[in-house]
């Protein structure tokens, strides 16, 4: 019997009272426990039934002692990368597992650079990219994306080259990009890799949102770009299948020497443990989750269209970036003329909790990131609450 995935997504799951950061922290973080949470990047959808069944079956066994790693997650991840993302020559040897993709970025910085080195990031950008660089005692080289008058976002390769020529030692890339939702094209990534190779600078790429791609676009893994054989690609099933709480992510590193350096740094940091439920969920998701994911992307595209049409009809002064991937949207509220803290408080008071723009870079006050990974009825209520805030601004 065919599964009605749309009905499942419309239903969603009630996450309140489950120690859910997204819902249960609204009172402390936004001072409004009744707000619609449109912030932290996970979704309000249950994982694919096959994933839930695999985890429940193992939980019913009742004993959770030390367990051997059978490699099912490695085999499934390798097949997913080869089949879903068309990376040629994938080998199971490439894979190194760790708790999370932010951990993977931190390990990349520590393993591939030295204290004081400069590392390039492209802003606006998910805040932990800057955080891991600074935590590691390195310096940020900020390569701001070019925001076109038509609302587009592009890499500034000229400014990046100035940084590379000036001694940047590592490029941290977010692909697809968070928060703008850009899905970098093969041509853009080819130019980026060629430029970094010219200065012998490795690329560490976060592809955690690689599976959430809107119709008409296609994710290109950094590992499929000629010349990127020494790249480090970090990925996880967590955003795709709503598994972040199981803490199971991986690097895919084709180059053996680079891979061994990464393994050594993971061991040094004590990040070599595994989670039996994370392994099971990863294997099940990548083995059986494709139909669920295809339906999810269709649902998210409809949610995205809902947001675009709502703002166009009711708040045309708010700039809505045309997203190509992720379940996140990047919104420009600067026309409201409010300081960032006042803007965030206004939205939360009216029942909409969004991420503040300065989390993605100091220059982005007045922008907000909105999460559309929720049932349509909840999204529509959140949009209605944003409109309440707009009416308050208008007096």
The separation between CA 352 and the C-alpha centre of its own chain, rounded to angstroms, equals: 21
First CA to last CA across the chain, in angstroms? 54
Confidence of residue 86 (pLDDT cuts 50, 70, 90): very high
Query: CA 32, CA 26: separation in Å to the nearest integer?
Result: 6
Q: How do residues 353-395 score in pLDDT, each as one tens digit?
A: 999 999 999 999 999 999 999 999 999 999 999 999 999 999 8
pLDDT surpassing 80 at residue 144: yes
Region 338-345: mean pLDDT is 97
pLDDT at position 68: 84
Query: CA 210, CA 127: separation in Å to the nearest integer?
Result: 18
Q: How do residues 270-302 score in pLDDT, each as one tens digit?
A: 988 778 999 999 999 999 999 999 999 999 999
pLDDT at position 1: 66
Asked if 343 contacts 368 with a C-beta cutoff of 8 angstroms, the reply is: yes
pTM for this prediction: 0.96
Across the chain, what does the average pLDDT equal? 97
Spatial neighbors of 81 by CB under 8 A, at least 6 apart, are: 87, 90, 221, 223, 235, 252
Q: How do residues 101-118 score in pLDDT, each as one tens digit?
A: 999 999 999 999 999 999
Query: CA 180, CA 197: separation in Å to the nearest integer?
Result: 26
CATH number of 67-288: 3.40.640.10
CA dihedral sign of residues 180, 183, 187, 189: positive
Region 338-346: mean pLDDT is 97
Residue spans per domain, the chain:
5-49+290-394, 67-288
Asked if 104 contacts 98 with a C-beta cutoff of 8 angstroms, the reply is: yes
Q: Starting from the edge strand earliest in sequence, which strands make up the sheet with 328-332, in order?
A: 319-320, 328-332, 367-371, 355-356
Region 120-124: mean pLDDT is 98
pLDDT surpassing 90 at residue 8: yes
Region 258-265: mean pLDDT is 95
SS (H, E, C) the chain: CCCCHHHHHHHCCCCCCCCCHHHHCHHHHHCCCCCEECCCCCCCCCCCHHHHHHHHHHHCCCCCCCCCCCCHHHHHHHHHHHHCCCCCCCCHHHEEEECCHHHHHHHHHHHHCCCCCEEEECCCCCCHHHHHHHHCCCEEEECCCEECCCCCEECCHHHHHHHHHCCEEEEEEECCCCCCCCCCCHHHHHHHHHHHHHCCCCEEEECCCCCCECCCCCCCCHHHCCCCCCCEEEECCHHHHCCHHHCCEEEECCCHHHHHHHHHHHHHHCCCCCCHHHHHHHHHHHHHCHHHHHHHHHHHHHHHHHHHHHHHHHCCCCEECCCCECCEEEEECHHHCCCHHHHHHHHHHCCEECEEHHHHCHHHCCEEEEECCCCHHHHHHHHHHHHHHHHHHHC
pLDDT at position 298: 98
Confidence of residue 69 (pLDDT cuts 50, 70, 90): confident
pLDDT surpassing 90 at residue 188: yes
Q: Does the domain formed by 5-49+290-394 have CATH 3.90.420.10?
A: no
Tokens of 329: 């949207």
């Amino acid at each position: 019997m065919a599964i009605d995935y749309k009905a499942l997504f419309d239903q969603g799951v009630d996450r309140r009272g489950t120690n859910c950061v997204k819902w249960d922290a609204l009172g402390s973080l936004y001072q409004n426990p009744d707000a619609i949470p449109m912030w932290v990047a996970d979704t309000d959808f249950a994982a694919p039934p096959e994933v839930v069944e695999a985890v429940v079956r193992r939980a019913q066994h009742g004993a959770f002692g030390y367990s051997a790693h059978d490699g099912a997650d490695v085999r499934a991840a390798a097949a997913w990368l080869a089949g879903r993302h068309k990376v040629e020559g994938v080998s199971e040897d490439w894979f190194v597992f760790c708790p999370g993709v932010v951990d993977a970025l931190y390990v990349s910085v520590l393993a591939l650079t030295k204290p004081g080195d400069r590392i390039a990031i492209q802003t606006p950008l998910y805040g932990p990219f800057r955080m891991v660089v600074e935590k590691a005692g390195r310096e940020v080289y900020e390569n701001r994306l070019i925001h076109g008058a038509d609302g587009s976002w592009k890499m500034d390769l000229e400014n990046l080259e100035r940084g590379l020529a000036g001694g940047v030692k590592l490029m941290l890339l977010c692909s697809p990009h968070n928060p703008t939702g850009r899905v970098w094209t093969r041509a853009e990534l080819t130019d980026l890799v060629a430029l970094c190779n010219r200065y012998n600078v490795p690329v560490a790429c976060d592809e955690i949102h690689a599976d959430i791609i809107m119709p008409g676009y296609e994710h290109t893994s950094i590992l499929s770009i000629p010349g990127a054989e020494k790249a480090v690609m970090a990925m996880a099933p967590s955003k795709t299948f709503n598994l972040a709480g199981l803490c199971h992510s991986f690097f895919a590193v084709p180059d053996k020497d680079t891979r061994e350096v990464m393994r050594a740094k993971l061991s040094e940091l004590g990040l070599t443990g595994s989670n039996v439920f994370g392994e099971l969920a990863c294997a099940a998701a990548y083995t059986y989750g494709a139909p669920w994911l295809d339906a999810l992307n269709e649902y998210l595209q409809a949610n995205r269209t809902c947001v675009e049409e709502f703002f166009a009809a009711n708040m045309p002064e708010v700039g809505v970036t045309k997203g190509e991937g992720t379940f996140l949207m990047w919104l420009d509220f600067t026309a409201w003329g409010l300081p960032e803290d006042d803007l965030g408080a206004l939205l939360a008071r009216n029942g909409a909790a969004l991420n503040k723009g300065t989390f993605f870079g100091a220059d982005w006050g007045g922008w907000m990131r909105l999460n559309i990974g929720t049932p349509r009825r909840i999204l529509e209520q959140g949009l209605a609450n944003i409109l309440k805030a707009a009416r308050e601004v208008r007096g």
